[in-house]
Each structure stands twice: as C-alpha cells, then as structure tokens.
Structure 1
Amino acid sequence: MNRIKISIRSMLISIACIAAATCWLSPLASSNITRTANSMDVAIDGSGYFRVLDEEKGEIRYTRNGTLEVDSNQILNIRIEEQIWPIEPAITVPSNTTQLDVSRDGRIRAHTSVGRTIIGRFQLAYFGSKLPFDQPFNANIANDRSGMETSREPSAEDGWLIQGSIERPPCDSLTIATTYTIALFASCVFSYLARKITGVRALRSHPST
C-alpha cells in the first residue's frame, strides 16, 4: 500500500511539474490573441516583436506585449507589468489627442480637434530563431540564440497588427502556481485517505479484546 501511495503521489507531482514547465518554456508556441475593444491594446498577428527603448542603458529591447500608454511627456510607451518602455523609434502624441488609431500596417493616427494626423509607424523586429526569447512578453535583450534583429513595418508576409486586441501567454505565473498547488493538494488528500484505509485495515486485523 505504501509503495502505491508513494508512486501515485510522485506521479501527480511530476504531472504538475511537466505542465508548469510546458507553459513556462514555450509561451509563444500556443499564445492567444484576445479581443478587448480597448484602442490602447495592440497584438501582433505574426512573428515580430515590438521595439522599445531601455532609456537607462540606451539599448533596444523586444516584447510581444502590446499594452500602449502615453506618459506625461506625451511619449507613446508599452507597459510591461509596473514599468513603461518608450516605443522605438519614438512617437510623440499631440496633447489634444482624443483617440489613437493603429492600422494593420503599423501607421499610428492621432484624432485631434483639427482632424486625424499620422504621427508615426511601428517598426517591428524579426529574428531568425522561431522562439528567440524564453519570455516573449517581457522586455528582452537580444542574445546569442535570438541573433541580430531585422526591423521592418508589419506586412501581409510577416503579419499585421490588430488594434483592440491583446496577445497573452497561455500560462501566467498564477496559472502555473495554481496547477502545482492543485496537484500537491490532490497528493496530500490521497496520502490522508491511504493512511485512513491502512488504519482501518490494521484495526480489523488486530481487533481489541
């Protein structure tokens, strides 16, 4: 009985670890684009990456995260968790802008009191590797695996942009933690029930006189 208990518990924990590792190591392979209807959400329907600037280090970083935000200096940024990163090349949004339109080919138009004006265009980065970064929704630095970028506008060949939608990884940290916790809970419940059954059998085998 003890061998069976240990075997099943190990199996449950192994399944949880495999599921978590699969989510963590291959987020781009099965990521999904979700419609939000928020004009400040932009998804890449292709293999490119948004280019953002690390102002402190003066280097370009790359992300699939398309959550746009205009800062106090009217610079268009991408928000990644608690930090905002200026889009590269830089795009300045007029102070009287009421809405931003992002066309599928990356052109950004500002709605102002005098009409619509093109204020810039997204330049996406492309890499030779299918999955150049382990965490594509973070702000990544080019590495040996990714190689050097090739930057160009979105296109039919490489994939368009989709405004009002956001791409999300299939598993975030909460999902991974929940999966692992459920497996551990199941293994604990099984261990508890196994101990109870073992105790009942022991009582039946050695009844009190």
Structure 2
Amino acid sequence: MSYYVSLSGLQNAQTDLSVIGNNISNADTTGFKKSDAQFANLVAASAYSNPKDIIGIGSTVSEINQNFSQGPIQQTGSALDLAISGDGFFAVKSTATGQMSYTRNGNFSLDSTAAASSGKSYVIDATGNRLQVLPAGGTSTTLGDAVVPTTDTGGASFSGVTVAANGNVSAAYADGTSTVIGTVALAAFNSPEGLQQTGSADYIATGLSGAAIYGTPANGQYGGLLSGALEASNVDLSSEMVNLITAQQYFQANAKAIDTNTTVSEAIINLHS
C-alpha cells in the first residue's frame, strides 16, 4: 500500500511540474493565462469505518484551473493591436471551419491577400481567424466579420484604420473621409474557468463555461478597450520559480519514500530467508 501512496504523490508532482513548466514556457505569449494544479487526498473508509482508524491512501489531481487575472498592458503603437482592460474576450471566427473562438490576444492585422482578390480586407489574427464585430451604432447582437473596403464610395483608396475606446472600427481614405465598419464585439461567460484551451491563446465555449454573451467595450460587465497596446501573459516568473522548487521537493520526497519502502521490504525479506 505504501508504494501506491508514494507513487500517487510522484504522479501528482509530475503533473504539477508539467503545469508550471507550461506556464514558464508561455511567459512571453501574448494573452496567455496561467494554470494552477489543485490536488485532493484519498482515504480508505466506509460508513462503518471507525473514524480513528481511517488512513490516507494517497492523493489525486482534482482539477487544473485557469487563472484569468489581468496581465500587464504593453504599448505597441500599432492601431490594430488591441488590449482589454478588465473582463471579456475577443471573438474570432475560423474561415476554414466556422468555429468561433475567444481570446485575450489582440494582435490583429489586415488580410492583404483578400484585399488583392476581392477589393476588401478582413481584420484577422495571427492564424487567419477573422475578428468579429457588432453593427456600429445599432442594438443588434448579430456578429459579422470586420471588413474594410479598399476604396470608399468615391473611389478614394484606403489609407488607414483606427479603433476607438468604445470599440468602433473606422476606416480612413485618401480623400479625407472615414467610415465606421463596426464595433469590436467582446464576449463574456458565466464561468470562464470552464473554457477549453485550443492553443494560440484561444479558447472555445463548453457546457461548463456556458454560451458566450456578447457586448461592447466599457459597457456593463465588459472591460475597456485600448488600441495600440497588447496584454502580456499573466505569468509571474518569480512565483513560478518558487512553485517549481516546491514541486521538485515534493517529487524528491515521494521518490525518497519509495526508496525507503524498498529498503524496508528487502530487510524483511532477508529476515525471513
């Protein structure tokens, strides 16, 4: 029994080290949210057990929680670099699958390939997903792609794009005109800890998180929007290094317990022989 108790400790220590290692490796990943491993003890007991005789039989991983605390805001100067100060996620849509994803990584740009072939550009993330917006100035909650025409109604060529604090995305043209193409949509969830990670700092909704509730920046439960800035990872390297040392000691202690059990077992076998 003692072997299995210590073995469960080793396995949990390995899980803890993996979680901490993943946090450290993503310390420079824009919009990344760190995780924390939580553990629970196991006991051998029944309704008829004497409470004074109950012993532990090891531990197990109870859950791995996402920590959605605010990360530092870093200025970049690029108009399509967006950061959320407060709650909410950007909504992005895959052109290949139509899958809606949610992210705190606001590193967006214009899709120049689409502009050359269709006369309009889409605001996309690093993997080609399209940023979703709500109709500007309206009350509709229907999402759509952020589309920037390469020319205005007068034929003037596109000259730049800006994003206001209220989320309005405006396209400017060479003749001095500008038009609002939509308002950046932010998504909120009843339980964001239930979101499923899919990589690239993206998440998808699950039954645990609940469906996305869309709104606009700085409105109600939604955080403010900053243009020309990005939210850095919320990983604190100092804390992670302390956690790493603790997890290593946890691992070594369980390994030592197994070694001690082996020594004791060998001694007992030698006595019988």
- Please report the TM-score for the alignment, with normalisation by the length of structure 2: 0.52
AA partner of residue 116 (structure 1): S
Aligned 8 A contact 2:196 2:206 in 1: no
Provide the residue aligned with 1:94 in structure 2: 149
CA shift for structure 1 position 57? 2.0
In the alignment, structure 1 residue 169 sits paired with structure 2 residue 216: no
Q: Return the structure number with greater relative CO, CA threshold 8 A, min gap 6.
A: 1
Provide the residue aligned with 2:85 in structure 1: 45
Whole-angstrom distance in 2 between the partners of 1:30 and 1:159 = 11
Which of residues 107, 120, 126 in structure 1 aligns to 2:168? Answer: 107
Q: Secondary structure at the match of 1:98?
A: strand
Provide the residue aligned with 1:75 in structure 2: 122
Give the unaligned 5+ runs of structure 2.
Answer: 1-12, 24-33, 36-65, 115-120, 133-143, 151-156, 250-273
Whole-angstrom distance in 2 between the partners of 1:21 and 1:162 = 30
Q: Secondary structure at the match of 2:73?
A: strand
- Higher mean C-alpha displacement, 131-140 vs 96-105: 131-140
AA partner of residue 169 (structure 1): S
Q: Secondary structure at the match of 1:50?
A: strand
Whole-angstrom distance in 2 between the partners of 1:62 and 1:84 = 14
Q: Secondary structure at the match of 1:131?
A: helix
CA shift for structure 1 position 30? 4.6
In the alignment, structure 1 residue 145 sits paired with structure 2 residue 185: no
CA RMSD of aligned residues (A): 3.4
1:163–1:155: structure 2 CA closer, same or farther, 3 Å change rule? same
Aligned 8 A contact 2:91 2:103 in 1: yes
1:1-209 to structure 2, matched below 5 A, reads: 17=17, 20=20, 23=23, 24-25=34-35, 26-71=66-111, 72-73=113-114, 74-79=121-126, 83-88=127-132, 89-95=144-150, 96-114=157-175, 115-133=177-195, 135=197, 138-157=201-220, 158-171=222-235
Report the number of matched residues: 166
Aligned 8 A contact 1:27 1:169 in 2: no
1:170–1:137: structure 2 CA closer, same or farther, 3 Å change rule? farther
Whole-angstrom distance in 2 between the partners of 1:18 and 1:75 = 37
Aligned 8 A contact 2:196 2:203 in 1: no
CA shift for structure 1 position 137? 6.1
1:137–1:44: structure 2 CA closer, same or farther, 3 Å change rule? farther
Fraction of identical pairs, as percent: 24
Give the unaligned 5+ runs of structure 1.
Answer: 1-12, 188-209
Cα deviation code 1:6-30 (max 9, x no counterpart): xxxxxxx99x939826943045325
